[in-house]
């Protein structure tokens, strides 16, 4: 199922860390599908998978809070960033994949001019 073109590009005000300048990050929904996934007991469960692209432009030392909750996988498509997930900071090179656990908060600092991040969210229906 394709995303509604009317919401294909959505600009969000990022939530900067204390003392950081306000920034903008641009979210582009790429895909949204309803599927079924097997459970350990052999039955299936309906899930929704959505993929988003995030364009991040370096601000004045600020960090973006990615406004997703629940489990998701992040993939850095280009640029260099530092992530802070529940207080643990890690530098991420281009091409890196990592998971953000349900209930965790991820903040991102762009370590160059710009970066492009992709997120894959799987949620139970």
Element containing residue 53 per DSSP (H, E): strand 44-57
pLDDT at residue 91 is higher than 90: yes
CA distance 14 to 105: 13
Give me the CATH number covering residue 32. 2.60.120.10
pLDDT at 61: 62
Count of structural domains, the chain: 1
Instruction: Using pLDDT thresholds of 50, 70 and 90, give the confidence band for residue 99.
Output: very high
HSE-CB for 89 with a 13 A CA cutoff = 6
Determine the pLDDT at residue 70: 85
Taking only the tens place, the pLDDT of each residue in 61-73 is 678 889 998 899 9
Instruction: List pLDDT tens digits, range 10-38.
Output: 333 333 333 344 445 677 777 788 888 88
Q: What is the span of the domain harbouring residue 50?
A: 5-124
* Each residue's pLDDT tens digit, 50-63: 999 999 988 766 78
Please return the burial class of 61, using the count of CB atoms within 10 Å of its CB with bins 0-12, 13-18 and 19+: exposed
- Predicted confidence at residue 24, as pLDDT, reads 59
Q: How far apart are CA 26 and CA 13, in angstroms?
A: 9
């Amino acid at each position: 199922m394709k995303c509604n073109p009317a919401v294909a590009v959505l600009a969000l005000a990022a939530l900067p860390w204390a003392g950081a300048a306000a920034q903008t990050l641009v979210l582009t929904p790429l895909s949204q599908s309803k599927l079924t996934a097997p459970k350990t007991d052999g039955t299936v469960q309906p899930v929704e998978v959505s993929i988003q692209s995030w364009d991040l432009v370096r601000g004045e030392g600020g960090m973006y809070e990615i406004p997703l909750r629940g489990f998701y996988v992040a993939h850095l498509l280009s640029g260099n960033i530092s992530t802070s997930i529940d207080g643990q900071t890690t530098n991420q090179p281009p091409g890196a994949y990592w998971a953000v656990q349900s209930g965790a908060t991820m903040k991102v600092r762009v370590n160059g001019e710009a970066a492009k991040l992709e997120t894959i969210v799987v949620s139970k229906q």
